[in-house]
Chain A
């Protein structure tokens, strides 16, 4: 494997990881602060992608679509929080799973009702289409580089929000002691709505960014949701730095595993057996990683000590 291929795969892993982070950040906040398991987080990702595709098709501007994705997902998040989620905080996890699973079905069928069953068209903006050529002839798609940059900007923004703003202090306080922060006069109900809307907006944003290079279709959120849960379990529930480290770890493990494992197996097996065994094992790799980390740190990398 040549050095430039290896470097390209590192970038690919980074890009995959950082998008997972944008998706997982909202999930881990909602789980950490409110103790809520939200399976419908993937649906908000889909809402963002569809809003972006619809607005981009109507106006011709991808950037307006991106703004629409943030707004649509945040609004959907607020509505869902007020109508459904609010009733679930005091219930046990099984009730939450059932109710939010129902939300997945409702979101999917509603999207099908409005947009039909066929995938929507959404392409990258012209300014970011094609590949950038680096010195030495190394090429990399401009849009993926932009995603990496945007992802890190979002991460920096979140660290600042959680670490140095009043809202961030309340979120952290809500995470460690819900009763005490209520007693101090903070309107916990409103805080929950804000956190949920923030998480939803991030999921929708990730959906729109990724939708432009993948396919905008019904059910696109669920595979990502599973990965996002893996990320927050590895990182430690409720921890934003944990989610960042874990998502990059998962992104790199998955991407490099897919490329390297078949090569490794190829050294002692014939070619087509090696590709099929290698790729089968590669798809399990992140779950093996999760299991291994949980053995040594049962609360995740950055989780509170139990």
Chain B
């Protein structure tokens, strides 16, 4: 009797493992929904929720919390989500300094972390982890694209500028890696700084032939408006973060014509992207930004893995994530050995389309681009 009961139990377990996908997945999303960086977090959240909604999958539930762009709050939220909400997967963090504070502890407790934005080098190289996947880019990537563009254009003397925090340092490193010319100046600004008069004066005096800048969110709005008013006409180049759909309208004409590097653009020609741009616009009444596309892709990746494996079976689930078997808005997409994307980086130009400021692709800066930290990563 006991023996047969045991058999039945074993059989049921086997059966369950076979159709394991019925096990619901609980996702904890920690992102920035208030304060100056709110636009980025809201786009990631909306993109993510759109993919979840379109899938019609009832086995996924998402808890969303606001980190206010503060590392200490993000850490508290992660603890709460892991301990009392019992989430299986964490995602959502926008800022690299927050990701560095949250991710190592979360993955050490056996949770999966899927990054829809921040990709600090610290988590790609020595600090990499088998449960950490980045669906957006390694921080250096877009700047490497900008550097490759600068080199191809023939810039020889760049002035480079970024905020003094992990992503800022990664961006400058990335640009220098592919650009290869001389530097007319290198400046770190305060994170959240709004007045760039002092830096623009230095650019004016430096005699640079190009300016590379990484200033995401409101910092970029301030910089570009002030730059346009300063009378300095050295060409600007940068990663897409200062040219995303959310802030271009606030910058206005000051941004038109500026070249920027991005892994995504609304005019990438594939059916997934077309459908994404259209449905996002219909659902939320605005054009998606690259952050929204990253949120969408993160959810699409997670849903594809849920279709293949049970989240409780960590090894199988990890392998399912690693195979990246989903339709990305970016077209081709796969993971490197350190779980960061291999993808094309495009050069975009800011244009005015009707009344809306947006981007169009001009050329491809880097094809099938991975990252340089693979060798430092021992999983």
Whether the pair B229, A117 counts as a contact (CB closer than 8 A) is no
Cα distance, A139 to B33, chains bound together (Å): 40
Whether the pair A131, B250 counts as a contact (CB closer than 8 A) is no
> Which one of B192, B205, B247, B251 contacts A223 once the chains associate, using CB atoms below 8 Å?
B192
CB of B120 within 8 A of chain A? Answer: no
Whether the pair A2, B205 counts as a contact (CB closer than 8 A) is yes
CB of A259 within 8 A of chain B? Answer: yes
Whether the pair B249, A121 counts as a contact (CB closer than 8 A) is yes
> Which one of B188, B204, B222 contacts A279 once the chains associate, using CB atoms below 8 Å?
B188
Whether the pair A215, B250 counts as a contact (CB closer than 8 A) is yes
Whether the pair B197, A218 counts as a contact (CB closer than 8 A) is no
Which stretch, A8-16, A71-79, A228-236, A295-303, touches the partner chain B? A8-16
Whether the pair B201, A215 counts as a contact (CB closer than 8 A) is no
Cα distance, A262 to B232, chains bound together (Å): 22
CB of B267 within 8 A of chain A? Answer: no
CB of B195 within 8 A of chain A? Answer: yes
Total A-B pairs in contact (CB under 8 Å)?
Answer: 136
Closest chain B CB from A183 CB (angstroms): 47
Residues of A within 8 A of B169 (CB): 276
Q: For window 150-206 of chain B, which residues contact chain A by CB distance below 8 Å? A: 164, 169, 172, 183, 186-190, 192, 194-195, 197-199, 201-202, 204-205
Whether the pair B201, A12 counts as a contact (CB closer than 8 A) is yes
Cα distance, A55 to B235, chains bound together (Å): 33
Query: Per-residue 0/1 for A247-279: is the Cβ within 8 Å of any B Cβ (1 yes, 0 no)?
Result: 000000001001100100000000110011001
Given A2-B205, A15-B197; A119-B250 close (CB under 8 Å)? yes
Residues of A within 8 A of B183 (CB): 271
Residues of A within 8 A of B194 (CB): 210, 214-215, 220, 223
- Report the interface size for chain B: residues with CB under 8 A from the other chain: 43
Cα distance, A159 to B193, chains bound together (Å): 31
Cα distance, A139 to B221, chains bound together (Å): 22
> Which one of A108, A139, A220, A283 contacts B230 once the chains associate, using CB atoms below 8 Å?
A139
Whether the pair B226, A213 counts as a contact (CB closer than 8 A) is yes
Residues of A within 8 A of B38 (CB): 112, 117, 218
The residue on B at minimum CB distance from A119 is B250
Query: Per-residue 0/1 for A280-292: is the Cβ within 8 Å of any B Cβ (1 yes, 0 no)?
Result: 1001000000000
Cα distance, A77 to B198, chains bound together (Å): 33
Residues of B within 8 A of A213 (CB): 195, 222, 225-226, 229
Cα distance, A141 to B226, chains bound together (Å): 8
Interface residues of B (CB under 8 A from A): 33-36, 38-39, 42, 164, 169, 172, 183, 186-190, 192, 194-195, 197-199, 201-202, 204-205, 218-219, 221-222, 225-226, 229-232, 246-247, 249-252, 254
Q: Which 10 A-B pairs have the closest CB atoms?
A: A131-B231, A12-B197, A215-B221, A215-B218, A5-B205, A279-B188, A214-B222, A119-B250, A219-B35, A214-B194
In addition to A120-B250, A131-B231, A143-B229, 5 A-B residue pairs with Cβ atoms within 8 Å of each other are: A119-B246, A214-B194, A218-B36, A220-B194, A258-B189
Interface residues of A (CB under 8 A from B): 1-2, 4-5, 8-9, 12, 15-16, 108, 112, 117-121, 123-124, 129-131, 133, 139, 141-144, 210, 212-220, 223, 255, 258-259, 262, 271-272, 275-276, 279-280, 283
